A and B are shown apart, each in its own frame.
Chain A
Amino acid sequence: MQHDRFIEWLYLSVFDELGEDEGRRLDEHLRSCADCSQEREKIVRMLDSITASGVAEPSQEMLASARQSLRAALWKESLTQAAMRRPSGGESFLGRLLGSARGYGLGLAGAAAVCIGFFLGYIAFRGAPAVSPLPQQEPTVNGLYAGISNVRFLDTGAIDGEVDITYDQFRPVRLRAPVDDPRVQDVLAYALLNDENPGVRLRAIRAFESEPSGAPPEEMKQAFLTAFNSDPNAGVRLQALLVLRRLPFDEDIKNMLLFALSHDANPGIRIAVMNYLAEITLEGIMPEEEMYDIMSTRAAADQSESASRRANDT
């Protein structure tokens, strides 16, 4: 049947993917074949309708949610990558032990394995968890604390600025150091983004409030932004907002605030964001016209009566 001969070309022609010669021959055929001509029109109509159906456009909510999850995943990934880039001076006890054992052959490696067995047995079966001194050789800044669990705060540093934390990282560790110590900040960031207990996440933020300079490293700021944007607990989000208020206002913070204003399910958080925006407008950091536009939109769109009223008042 002649149609069969041209049918593949017909389907490809609508995508403009036919060679010159094939195209010319198909055109000739279409001029003399009403069925194929009609079929081509139907395919074009179908493809236009598929485009018009909007199935290729993911919703704003879906995009925002995917971005949130990606941000958290990238954060974890950067922790892992930093841990893998650990400098040779900071090689782990296990790595050093096995590394040196390689040089002396299998016999020593076996002996090392037995020692590790005894060591692990000792760790596993001894009674109360011993507290280790402040790790001196632990590499610092962001990422070398992957594998942390069971973070507990003995002191959030509200009085003397020193945070006292215990956690497990292959072994129980106790760390008492100023909050601006990068090792403390690594544990705080890790706990804030990963701990299942909202109380621990909350204390991780509160511990930072005693930070003297009030200027956290970029990674810490990103952790606060992520927590504010995606923590399931409204109390943690609010606490993260309080810390963010202390930081210099920039595009990252602005975008996150605007996102929260339209997406945070908790009207209390939305009102807190409005208060913050009103404050920085008064300080001249944000232009009044921009603030007016944002609040007019919120006043009209917010589902919560109190949030809508607050936007109107602002």
Chain B
Amino acid sequence: MEPSDHELVSRARGGEVVAFEQLVRRYDRKVLSIASLYARDEEDAKDIYQEAFLRVYRGLPGFRGKSQFSTWLYRVVTNVCLSHQRKAMRVRHVSLEGDERGQAAAATLTAGETPEQLFGDAEISRHVSDAVAALPDRQRLVFILRHFQDLKLSEIADTMHLTEGAVKKYLHLAVRKLRVQLQRVFEL
């Protein structure tokens, strides 16, 4: 039988590296998925993935198991995502570049051909990625956690230290923006 998260955490806290590796393997696809949807750039996503697991590794001695391991992990991942974004913003400010993600998504969506001619599978994926990436940070995270990770709004609120009302608002705004961004791609 597979050991529970709780058991693996206790063993990892006792210094058992293999137990920590098992925890990583159990969740790292999800973490990388969140990171790549959030950051878009592959290297940034891998940075977020690594930083999140390093923070978890460092934080294990202080983790008392009051919340589930997965909730704690998601909390760490969202914090890393948000702080990573702040760092990226600082770099952009220094280099005098604007936030081009939204513009890029909009530009591709106003191209002149019909969706069937314009979009193959890879193209559709790219447009979806662009549209998700163009969402403001918190809206993007809420949407990723709800739609792709299937977390309940109450869990997202707990993870992101927000009220449930705020999470609802972010989700609503995110979906509405995606609806506008992707209407030509999916002929909505």
User: Residues of B contacting A47 with CB < 8 Å?
Assistant: 147, 175
Q: Looking at the complex, which of B50-58, B67-75, B86-94, B101-109 is the stretch in contact with chain A? A: B50-58
Q: What bracket does the count of chain B residues touching chain A fall in?
A: 35 or more
Q: Is B153 interfacial (CB-CB < 8 Å)?
A: yes
B28 touches A12 (CB 8 A): no
Interface string of A4-36 (1 = CB under 8 A from B): 000110011011010000000000000000000
User: Does A94 interact with chain B (Cβ within 8 Å)?
Assistant: no
Give Cα A44–Cα B42 distance, bound, in whole angstroms. Answer: 29
In the complex, chain B residues 10-67 whose Cβ is within 8 Å of any chain A Cβ: 17, 20, 24, 28-29, 32-33, 36-37, 42, 45-46, 49-50, 53-54, 57-58
Is B160 an interface residue, CB under 8 A from the partner? no
Instruction: Count A/B pairs, Cβ under 8 Å.
Output: 105
A58 touches B168 (CB 8 A): no
Query: B141 within 8 Å of A by Cβ?
Result: no
Chain A contact-residue range equals 35 or more
A70 touches B50 (CB 8 A): yes
Q: Say yes or no for A73: interface residue by CB 8 A criterion.
A: yes
Q: Cβ of A58 and Cβ of B45 under 8 Å apart?
A: yes
Are B168 and A73 in contact, with the CB atoms below 8 A?
Answer: no
> Which residues of A from 17 to 71 have beta carbons under 8 Å from B?
17, 42-43, 45-47, 49-51, 53-58, 62-63, 65-67, 69-70
B172 at interface (Cβ–Cβ under 8 A)? yes
Cβ-defined contact, B125 with A54, below 8 A? yes
| Residue A74 is within 8 A (CB to CB) of chain B in the complex | yes
Q: A8-B172, A12-B172, A15-B146 are in contact. Are A70 and B24 (CB under 8 A)?
A: yes
Given A8-B172, A11-B176, do A66 and B54 touch, yes or no (CB 8 Å)?
no
Q: How far is the CB of A226 from chain B (nearest CB, A)?
A: 13
A62 to B45, CA, bound (A): 10
Instruction: Contacts A53-B128, A74-B57 given; indicate if A66 touches B153 (C-beta within 8 A).
Output: no
- A56 with B33: in contact, given A11-B176, A12-B172 (CB under 8 Å)? yes
Interface string of B162-188 (1 = CB under 8 A from A): 000000110110011011001000101
Nearest chain B CB to A10 CB, angstrom units:
9
Q: List chain A residues, Cβ under 8 A from B168.
A: 8, 12, 17
Among B37, B58, B188, which residue has its beta carbon within 8 angstroms of that of A56? B37
Task: Report Cα–Cα, A15/B146, bound state, in Å.
Answer: 8
Contact B36 A11, beta carbon cutoff 8 Å: no
With A12-B168, A53-B128, A70-B50 as known contacts, state yes or no: A77 contacts B179, CB within 8 Å: no
Q: What are 5 A-B contacts with C-beta separation under 8 Å?
A: A8-B168, A8-B172, A15-B153, A56-B33, A58-B36
Give 7 nearest A-B pairs by CB, closest first: A56-B148, A42-B188, A53-B128, A11-B172, A66-B46, A58-B32, A53-B125
Interface residues of B, Cβ cutoff 8 Å to A: 17, 20, 24, 28-29, 32-33, 36-37, 42, 45-46, 49-50, 53-54, 57-58, 121, 124-125, 128-129, 132, 146-148, 152-153, 168-169, 171-172, 175-176, 178-179, 182, 186, 188
Known: A54-B121, A63-B32, A74-B17; 13 extra A-B contacts, CB below 8 A, are A17-B146, A47-B175, A51-B148, A53-B121, A55-B37, A55-B125, A55-B132, A58-B33, A62-B36, A65-B46, A74-B20, A77-B58, A218-B17
